[in-house]
Amino acid sequence: MINWKEISDGDQWELFTRDFLSELGFVIEIGPGRGADAGRDILVSEQLKGRVQSKKFSWLVSCKHFATSEKAVGPDQETNITDRLKHHSAKGFLGVYSTMPSSSLINRLQEYLDRGDIEAYEIFDAKKIEAHFASAGMSKLALRYFPISYGRLRPIQQILGTKVEILCDVCGADILARSVLETARANIVWECN
C-alpha cells in the first residue's frame, strides 16, 4: 500500500513520526533533533483518564527506518531501553518502525513489562501505521511524506466510467490530476450561451 522508501533517511522518518503521533492525539513534549539525544528520538505524552482522576503518561519514542534493507529491528538496535526510559522520565516505550520488530525484541520488551521495569510498550510497524492511515483519514500526512503512494491510493475519480479532464485555460494543466499530488486551487466558471 505505502512505499516506505519514499522517505529517504532517518531524519525524515523522525519528522514523519512526530507528525503521525501528533495526528493520533499525542502531545509532542520533545521533538526530533540532530545530534546526541541520549537514546530519545522523540518524547510524547498522553492524558490517561479514569472515572475519578487522570494522569499524564510519557512515552519515549524510538524511530527506526530500515525500509531499504527491510531488516527487522532487534535488540542490537534497541539497546539500554530501561536506562533510556529512566533518563528521560518516561513510563513507556514506543517504537515506530518502517519494518517489523524482531521476535527477540518483542520478548525483551515483554520481559521488562512482566518484571515491572516499564509500565507499557507499543510498536507501530509498517502495517499498523498503514491501518491508521486507512481508518483515521490521514490524507494530508500521506500526501506530504508519501506523494507517489498517495497518488496510487487516491486515484482521480471517474464519472460515468470515464475520466473527465478539467483543464486550466491559462496553462492547460489537468486540475484534477494536479490536485492528487499537491494542493491546488481553481475557480470553475460555467457559462451558458
pLDDT score of 154: 63
Q: Does the model's pTM come out above 0.85?
A: no
Residues 6+ apart with CB under 8 A from 112: 81, 82, 93, 118, 121
d(CA 35, CA 151): 34
- CATH number, domain 4-150: 3.40.1350.10
In angstroms, what is the C-alpha Rg of the chain?
21
* Domains of the chain, residue spans: 4-150, 156-193
> pLDDT per residue over 128-183, tens digit each?
998 887 776 677 888 899 988 887 766 555 555 566 677 888 888 877 666 655 66
| Greatest distance between any 2 Cα atoms in the chain | 79
d(CA 13, CA 170): 38
Q: Please give the helix or strand (H or E) that residue 123 lies within, else none.
A: strand 120-124
With H, G, I as helix, E, B as strand and everything else as coil, classify residue 132: helix
Q: Give me the sheet containing 27-30, strands edge to edge.
A: 27-30, 42-49, 54-64, 92-97, 120-124
d(CA 16, CA 146): 10
